[in-house]
Copies of this chain bind each other. A is one copy, B any other.
Amino acid sequence: MAQSNQPNDAVNPTFTAVGTRPIRPDGVDKVTGKARFGNDVRLPGSLHAAVLRATPARARILSIDTSKAAALPGVHAVLTGTDMPQVSGRLVDQPEGAFHNLGFLSRNSMAQGEVFYRGQAVAAVAAGTFQVAKDAIALIDVEYEVLPHVMDGMAAMEPSAPIVQPELSSDSNPFFRAGGYRSEGEPEANTNVANNFAFEIGDVANGFESADLILERDYHTGEAHQGYIEPQSATADWNKDGVLTIYCSTQGQFAIRDGTADILGLPVGKVKVIPTEIGGGFGAKTFPTIEPVAARLSQMTGRPVKLTLDRIEVFEAMGPTSATYIHLKMGVTNDGKVTAAEAKLVYEAGAFPGSPVSPGVQCMLAPYDIANQRLEGFDVLVNKPKTSAYRAPGSPASAFAVESMIDEFCQKLNLDPIEFRLQNAAMEGSRRVTGAVSPRLGFEETLKAARDTEHYGDSVDGPNRARGVAGGFWFNGSGPASALASVLPDGSISLIEGSPDIGGSRASAAIHVAEVLGIPVESVRPSVADTDSIGYTSTTGGSSATFKTGWACYEAAQDVKRQLVDRAATIWGVDSADVEYDSGALSTAKEGGQELTLAGIAARLNSTGGPIVGRATVNPRGVGGAYAFHIADIEVDPETGKVDVLRYTTVQDAGRAIHPGYVEGQMQGGAAQGIGWALHEEYVYDEDGRMNNASFLDYRMPTTLDLPPIETVIVEFPNPGHPFGLRGVGEVSIVPPLAAVANAVSRATDRRIRQVPITPTKLLEALGDDHGS
């Protein structure tokens, strides 16, 4: 159900392709099993690789004896850290001002002298078969000097904590500001705090003074994994001419190209990355992990090498998101106006810097207009896997804190949660904690749409049942993108673009072209190209793909249209200005009136001047932030502590839903992942730093049996920064569920639980406690 609150309608009163639901171009291949995912790549003469992984959570490697492995028949090469280039800690620009630290990336892909978390790669084998490779790694003897480790972000900040990365303890060390996001603070000696920064606006002390009610609470979110179905898989082919080709499951073939080239010391022009289909990424497949290892094994053996991880390796070594600790203090007036907010956010980075604490801080209060704020972030090292991005990275945890506390305010002040948020909603011109000024966003429209849903109007009846609501924000990303649109002789379009298709971006790319040219979406056949075949296109992440690549497709189609008009003008001997293009047909009133269909002119291109290829490279600004609001009805079983989600509605501002079906899919998928995080998902470690639940049986993601049908309401408050008004939609849907579910549990049980996941154990403990909050 799309809302009609569309200020841009006057400009684009009717769309023919935008807003329709064509079958996805990759759909048949994906349902018939034909789509080629990472492990489906089979190059002639390929070898298979396996990785030996560290057993201690922190150790010095005293020796690695690979002789028995190397002697095993069928083994072609054994690799350890000394076989990898010794990469310095140089920072490498990534899109959107983020960095990766090459030294850390390199050691995360293969340990060099030390191990920093259990599961870190310490050796790899290439063999004729995968089984031989597996057998060979079991023959490698590693002698460790085990060192003390620390597994908890709060404990890691204690003065007596073991130091995770001694390198970070030097003031002059360039690693220090090497997190995934810009540092604003200064280093401390001998610390596990890789980054510390604060943003402040207004006068916080003053703000609290004008509050009638102040709450101060601690919140914790567990370490959740992205849970993509497809494990990492890369096949590297280091050719004898020095050109390295990598096939891999990635969200960003260009990021893999650039990062792998840097780690291996190769010119970027010698590396080609061919993205396969991707069985989920959710932010985790954005930087090199296994690719440099597969590449080096290929170079050593002169053969293509395939390296595919198993599920245990994915859990133990392919970064989950951060566990977080957030201390939040907010003050409100009795009528529900927030006067001040102050928070400290501690995000675990894992063993190398780079938690998403910065976006966590930036998103935390962005939906609200709060004059006085101070938010401080800590990126803290622990001896766990290096974290990687997970859908709206950083925002679910900080929203959990804020949206939980708002719910407490509403309970205490007896205010409607939606009215409370409407009263405090950021408007155009509101200042954010970073000092940035908010553009006009769809907060208000989304909240009103939520208020108007049938779900919100219905009551929740029955014992142990209650409703929780929560909102969430993600600022969405952009970046460079490229597209090519080639006119085929039947008037259809071959569209080449560079965004790996996680959630239907081929379809949305094709819709952009179809809309501009006024042709059926089915007449546009999109392909995702390798790094040689399309201009630079930044990673599919940050909810950027449909925005930036859609924009490139829009421009490429405009380029096609211009050339078609010029060609028709040439054919008719009139000025281009006298040619009209409308809905796939060209006409002129001159020369007695002439008409040509797109198919008609397409068949004549070769004889009238040559082929037509539309081209665009863009780096668009104007991406608009997205807001979501979720409504969760739950039932608690007081005997077992189990929480059932009875009904769930997501309301989200899509700006403009290019393909509503995939927008709804994103809304539902994010909600499902957020519910899992709220109720089930968490890394459980033993005291040696071993993950105890590294399988999909033990790491409990929700299944269809755990969830009701998730209702969706798309709000369309067009983004003025995009030709069709779209906003990114992929990420924000994971932000509200943690608080929405927790708020519902709180209202059902009268016990405020400020830690997710709210497992049965945790809930039973709370229910056994007399002190409701």
Contacts and interface: CB of A to CB of B under 8 A. Distances in A.
Interface of A: 25, 27-29, 32, 34, 40, 42, 44, 93, 95, 239-241, 243, 258, 267-269, 479-482, 484, 486, 488-494, 496, 523, 525, 527, 529, 531-538, 605-607, 609-613, 615, 617-619
Contacts of A492: 267-269
Contact of A239 (B29, B239, B258, B531): B29
Nearest to A527: B532
A523 B268 CA distance: 11
Contacts of A490: 267-269
Given A269-B525, A617-B612, A480 B606 contact: yes
Contacts of A479: 606
A480 B489 CA distance: 13
A2 to B, nearest CB: 28
Contacts of A44: 34, 40, 42
B610 A619 contact: yes
Given A268-B492, A529-B533, 15 more contacts: A28-B239, A34-B44, A267-B492, A269-B492, A269-B493, A482-B613, A484-B613, A486-B532, A527-B532, A535-B613, A536-B605, A536-B610, A536-B611, A611-B617, A612-B617
Given A40-B44, A269-B523, A492-B268, A480 B610 contact: yes
A606 B527 contact: no
A258 B488 CA distance: 10
Copies per complex?
2
B610 A34 contact: no
A269 B267 CA distance: 37
Contact of A533 (B29, B533, B605): B533
B494 A532 contact: yes
A619 B609 contact: yes
Contacts of A480: 605-606, 610-611
B613 A538 contact: no
A492 B489 CA distance: 33
**Residue of A25, A40, A480, A531 with highest tally of chain B CB at under 10 A:** A480
**Residue of A535, A607, A613 with highest tally of chain B CB at under 10 A:** A535
A658 B56 CA distance: 61
Contacts of A523: 269
15 contacts: A29-B239, A40-B44, A258-B489, A267-B490, A268-B492, A486-B532, A486-B533, A494-B532, A527-B533, A529-B533, A533-B533, A536-B605, A536-B606, A538-B606, A612-B617
A615 B618 contact: no
Given A606-B95, A610-B619, A615-B615, A534 B241 contact: no
B527 A241 contact: no
Nearest to A532: B494
Contact of A496 (B29, B95, B525, B533): B533
**Residue of A479, A523, A525, A611 with highest tally of chain B CB at under 10 A:** A611
B618 A610 contact: yes
Contacts of A610: 480-482, 535-536, 617-619
Contacts of A531: 494
Contact of A525 (B27, B95, B243, B538): B243
Contacts of A269: 488, 490-494, 523, 525
A534 B258 contact: no
Contacts of A95: 606
A38 to B, nearest CB: 14
Contacts of A538: 606
Contacts of A606: 95, 479-480, 536, 538, 619
A241 B27 contact: yes
Nearest to A563: B617
A213 to B, nearest CB: 46
B529 A28 contact: no
Contacts of A28: 239-241
A13 to B, nearest CB: 30
